[in-house]
Amino acid sequence: MFFSQQLKMFKKNKKGSHVDVIVSFVIFLVFVGFMFVLIKPAADFNGDKTQAAEGLKLNIEDLTKAEIILVNIVNTSSKSGDDCISLNSALDFSNLEFIVKDYNGNTVDAKSSTDLEISWAGDSGFFKVYYSDNKFNSHVSGDSFSCQTGEIKSIQEIQEYVEKDIVQLISNLATNYSGIKEDLSLSVRDDFWLRFEYSNGTIIGEEVDSKKTNIYAEKYQINYLDFEANKKSGYFILYVW
């Protein structure tokens, strides 16, 4: 009799344990479903804004990169008493501004009439001439030179981010946001902001309104030419919401 009663109690407890497992499993499924609903909108937001940011980065590149003609020049003669190198080139760059750098990266005075005449500073016999559509500071000399002939070693067409266009874009955002947004082909349902950080930590561009929520932010590095055609490194800080 005793063992019969114990067996009945065991069967009852076993049945009860199955019910507990099923109830626990149902509760677990409800919890997982709730978390999925809670997290999915944030995942969708990040995915959409990441895609928008990638498109913006390409269009920002188009607005802040410039086409530049880089001419490498070598002095093939001894210096003698001359104080400049003259380049009588068949290439017509008369519609472009230029800046000249010596072997050590120093900016060198030069002038252009029929020929390009470069002031021969120090003992440098190698120069880089950057021709562009007014992207660099002018260092045109008014002095009269006594020149000897230089030789073109190479001519390259390059594209580089330039500080002038970066600063101009950041400035235009504050005065013509809707026009810049249109230029960057950003969807009407999205908004963005852009700042730029120099390698010394200086940041240009207004801060994003701290009251805004669900902002996607990305900081990415670029190399650019500054106003003196020096190669520098900095960071775009891009926000999308």
pLDDT of residue 207 exceeding 80, the answer is yes
Classify burial at 75, counting beta carbons within 10 Å of its beta carbon; exposed 0-12, middle 13-18, buried 19 or more: buried
Contacts of 125 (CB under 8 A, 6+ apart): 74, 75, 103
Residues 56, 81 within the same domain = no
Q: Which of 103, 127, 159 is the last residue of a domain?
A: 159
Residue 8 inside a domain? The answer is: no
The span from the CA of 76 to the CA of 98, in Å, is 22
Give the model's confidence band at 12: pLDDT under 50 very low, under 70 low, under 90 confident, else very high. Answer: low
Q: What is the pLDDT of residues 77-129, one digit of tens each?
A: 665 666 778 876 656 787 889 999 988 899 988 888 678 888 876 566 789 99
Q: What is the pLDDT of residue 150?
A: 82
Name the residue with tokens 């999925």. 36
Q: What is the pLDDT of residue 140?
A: 85
Closest of 197, 204, 215 to residue 173, by C-alpha: 204
User: If you average pLDDT over every residue of the chain, what do you get?
Assistant: 82
Q: What is the pLDDT of residues 51-81, one digit of tens each?
A: 999 999 999 999 999 999 999 988 776 656 6
- Please check whether residue 40 is in contact with residue 176, taking contact to mean a CB–CB distance below 8 angstroms: no
Q: In this structure, what token pair is assigned to residue 4? A: 């019969």
Residues 116, 231 within the same domain = no
Q: Domain residues for 75? A: 67-159
Residues 155, 73 within the same domain = yes
The span from the CA of 93 to the CA of 105, in Å, is 22
40 vs 162, residue with greater confidence: 162
The span from the CA of 100 to the CA of 143, in Å, is 16
Residues 217, 143 within the same domain = no
Q: How many domains does the chain have?
A: 2
Which range of 21-30, 106-115, 149-158, 175-184 scores highest in mean pLDDT? It is: 175-184
Q: What is the pLDDT of residue 144?
A: 76
Residues 170, 234 within the same domain = yes
Q: What is the pLDDT of residues 124-143, one digit of tens each?
A: 678 999 999 999 998 888 77
Q: What is the pLDDT of residue 7?
A: 46
Q: Which of 126, 159, 192 is the last residue of a domain?
A: 159
Q: In this structure, what token pair is assigned to residue 3? A: 């063992």
